Chain A
Amino acid sequence: MKVNKSKRIEETLFKVLMWVAMAVVFGFVISVIWTVFSRGAKAMSWDMITKLPGGGFYIGKEGGFLNAIVGSLYIVGASTLIGLLISIPVVFYLNVYLKKDSRLAYVARLAFDVLFGMPSIVYGAFGFSIMIYFGLRTSLLGGIIVITLLIIPIFIRSMDEATRNFPRDILDASFSLGATRWETLKVVVRQIAPGIATATLLSIGRAIGDAASVMFTAGYTDSIPTSLSQPAATLPLAVFFQLSSPIPEVQDRAYAAALVLTVIVLLLSIGGRFITNRFSKNKL
């Protein structure tokens, strides 16, 4: 019975440690969310999300950060669309045209995993040097291009995951009806629609929250861009830049912007969970 006792003590000890670890995780979640919400709510007002920065905005006068909201929406909207257009064919190619043990598919998946792991600052620096090479200045277009490049691996990985479990019988059924693989695409797309939807929400969440890459490429401005060649403000940078100001009113706006950003991202995350209702590795 003595043996049992030491076994049991060890078991209990580690169980307690595991509970502590999970409590710590929850503690972090609550702390982050609570901080952003409580601080942001204090600073939040209708003006913040409906007005552009007015004169003297950066010394604490009138205005809001509508420029950043709209800028983020422009960039995210455009890059999500382009990203989808590029990713769907690639995923389809990997899963339908290539065999399961294809070398190319292996290398491609590896490449996308590597690209997925690349820090956004590297995308930003690379994008920036390309833009200099072509004589472009920071602009909406630059932001869109870099964010597109950034989210393509996310799109592909998460759609690939959804497609890989796709029943091949459906493909065979479609082929046997005389459809070409290209026509079968439509069938596949319809089947993996939930996967595409999750991937999209996931990518939007990533795209809207990324600061390091747009910092280099989209720049920052107080107005809403009217053409692709003008710089564009983004929400994360609105938080970052305003927080570095010494003036409390300006910092407050940073907190309000952080609140807006967090709410958007949380909604996207809840949406994604609602669709798949499972913990997917691609969320990370």
Chain B
Amino acid sequence: MAIEVQNLNVHIKDNHILKNINLTLPEKQITCIIGPSGCGKSTLLRTLNRLIDGTEGVRLDGKVLVDGQDIIGSGPEITELRRRIGLVSQRPCPLPMSIFDNVAYGCRINKMHKRHKALIYAVQKNLKAVGLWDEVRGRVRTPAARLSIGQQQRLCLARSLAVEPQYILADEATSALDPISSKTVEDLFVSLKNDYTIIMVTHTLRQALRIADNVVFMYLGEVVESGPAQQVFHHPQQELTQKYLSGAFS
């Protein structure tokens, strides 16, 4: 149930963006990917759910095993893969529809609940899971764009959870939020790790320190060091990692 990345190389046109990545992302834990801007964190995430396919001139080599199945190459049906791997992006991105429809969107797309009752129940359950239900219960039929940014981000998380994924990718999911919303979302991720395998990119080392079980440090498209958070943070093996952690380049 883990994700295994083997010899992954990503080229965009003539640029070698990810270089020979080898990683294991353990199940039901939070793995934080850290590294300076432009080192390929987002690219790696977008490769895991193949959202990178939409990028012009992209070429993928190597293997990414999700539940033991290679997703590069012919692999599984891409839409099914994406259903299994949820994504929360940096800026909250509510779809142009009501709060209810936002959460129901993925269920409808994937025809998950035959009966309307079941759909309503699922929407409720997931809004509750992100602590949004009490805040919006009276207005689930109003446009999602009217929510505050923090609420929108939680809505996006609920939307991802509604399609019953096993993995959640989060790309700087808290960086656009105010400190309080940021804390709320961060706590949410921690509470979710019992049920989901979470991979998140973060720019704030302190956040990684707080919640990460595992840490991956990337630099210029390569994985410099990865391992349990304790080890990477307190006994980094590589000089580059030490430098980065001590704030030598930020």
Contacts and interface: CB of A to CB of B under 8 A. Distances in A.
Nearest to B111: A3
Contacts of B111: 3, 6
Contacts of A7: 79, 109-110
A4 interface: yes
Contacts of B80: 4
11 contacts: A3-B110, A3-B111, A3-B112, A4-B77, A4-B79, A4-B80, A6-B111, A7-B79, A7-B109, A7-B110, A8-B77
B80 to A, nearest CB: 6
Nearest to B76: A4
Interface of A: 3-4, 6-8
A117 to B, nearest CB: 28
Interface residues of B, number: 7
A8 B109 CA distance: 12
A81 to B, nearest CB: 42
B84 to A, nearest CB: 12
A161 to B, nearest CB: 24
Nearest to A4: B77
Given A7-B109, A8-B77, 9 more contacts: A3-B110, A3-B111, A3-B112, A4-B77, A4-B79, A4-B80, A6-B111, A7-B79, A7-B110
Interface of B: 77, 79-80, 109-112
Nearest to B80: A4
Nearest to A6: B111
A179 to B, nearest CB: 39
Contacts of A3: 110-112
Contacts of B109: 7
B186 to A, nearest CB: 33
A115 to B, nearest CB: 33
A8 B111 CA distance: 13
Contacts of A6: 111
Contacts of B77: 4, 8
A8 B110 CA distance: 11
A8 to B, nearest CB: 8
B99 to A, nearest CB: 24
A3 B164 CA distance: 15
Nearest to A8: B77
A82 B80 CA distance: 62
Contacts of A4: 77, 79-80
Of all A-B residue pairs in the complex, the 7 with the closest CB atoms, nearest first, are A3-B111, A4-B77, A3-B110, A4-B80, A7-B79, A4-B79, A6-B111
A130 B149 CA distance: 59
A46 to B, nearest CB: 49
B250 to A, nearest CB: 29
A4 B111 CA distance: 9
Nearest to B110: A3
Nearest to A3: B111
A4 to B, nearest CB: 5
A7 B80 CA distance: 11
A4 B110 CA distance: 8
B104 to A, nearest CB: 15
A263 to B, nearest CB: 36
A254 to B, nearest CB: 47
Contacts of B79: 4, 7
B112 to A, nearest CB: 8
B143 to A, nearest CB: 26
B18 to A, nearest CB: 29
A6 B77 CA distance: 13
A211 B49 CA distance: 56
A243 B112 CA distance: 63
A8 B79 CA distance: 9
A38 to B, nearest CB: 39
Nearest to B77: A4
Contacts of B112: 3
B67 to A, nearest CB: 16
A49 to B, nearest CB: 46
A13 to B, nearest CB: 16
A126 B80 CA distance: 62
